Amino acid sequence: MARHGRWWGFGLIPALITLVGYVAAMAVLIVYAGDLASWATPFADDWAEPWRDIVRVTVGAAAVGMGGLLAMLTFTAVTLLIGEPFYESLSAKVEETEGGGPQGPDLPLWRELWIAAKDSLAVLLRAAGFGIVLFLCGFIPVVGQTVVPVVGVCVSGFFLTVELTGTPLQKRGLAQKERLRLLRSRTGLAVGFGAGLVLLFLIPVLTVLAMPGAVAGATLLAREIAPHEEPAEEPSDDDRSPVDGQDGQDGQNGPGSPYPYPYQQPSANPYQQPHPGEAGQGWQ
């Protein structure tokens, strides 16, 4: 991306759109957090003033915190969904600079968005399952404060890599189960790539700035684990070599003959057939 500034600017557009939408949603949530807390705690209407306020402030703060956490978890998926046409073009540019890649199936835009949404939802559900387990493990003394956060970053990194490599691997004809299997076979590479991005994406502004580079890096990773080979072209008739050392001259078979394939020219006598083993010699 540093060598292609225009691509980088092009790739910023979806992330900026997503960031503006998320900031607006968070602003609305913060403004109406008090009303939301009052709606969620009708049982506290008759409580004394200090306790009612403490409960509702706590509920409002928890709602804002959950909204921020949800925004962090879904930002990449939503950005990839909004920016599907942008990032597909960016990935194709990266493939082109590296020697070319598959064209992929020719699908309408709505069909590509539908497939991307289904794949993102499946990845999000898998990540949520691991997240629940890790959340419960966080209550284990010592381990929950040391090991679990590291494992959480690694798990998040793996699933972030699954998200980012979806477009280039899908172009190679790989369904999501096959993509997961392929990335699990290179777990170190997938986790190493994604974990660094997870730590970088903890800062919202850097998430926007780094997204084009993340897409380009994911394309290079896809080329690493699933190389694309151009199909070999079959030789045309003009490229066929002469048969049995014949050069096509003097009526012999070859590229210069109207009969370039491995059989003798027909005899002028329709009853005369070539003798096997004596090229050009006939027998009645």
pLDDT digits (tens, 9 = 90+) for 221-235: 999 988 866 655 555
Average pLDDT over residues 43-54: 81
Domain limits, the chain: 5-225
Supply the pLDDT for residue 220: 93
What are the residues facing 29 on neighbouring strands?
A: none
Rounded Cα gap, residues 36 and 206, in angstroms: 31
Supply the pLDDT for residue 236: 54
Residue 278 has pLDDT above 50, yes or no: no
Q: Are 197 and 156 in contact (CB under 8 A)?
A: no
Residue 206 has pLDDT above 80, yes or no: yes
Residue 284 has pLDDT above 80, yes or no: no
Rounded Cα gap, residues 277 and 171, in angstroms: 53
Average pLDDT over residues 108-135: 77
Q: What percent of the chain has pLDDT over 90?
A: 13
238 to 107, 169, 261, 283: CA distances (angstroms) = 37, 37, 11, 32
Banded pLDDT at 154 (limits 50, 70, 90): very high
Local structure of residue 269 (DSSP, 8 states): S
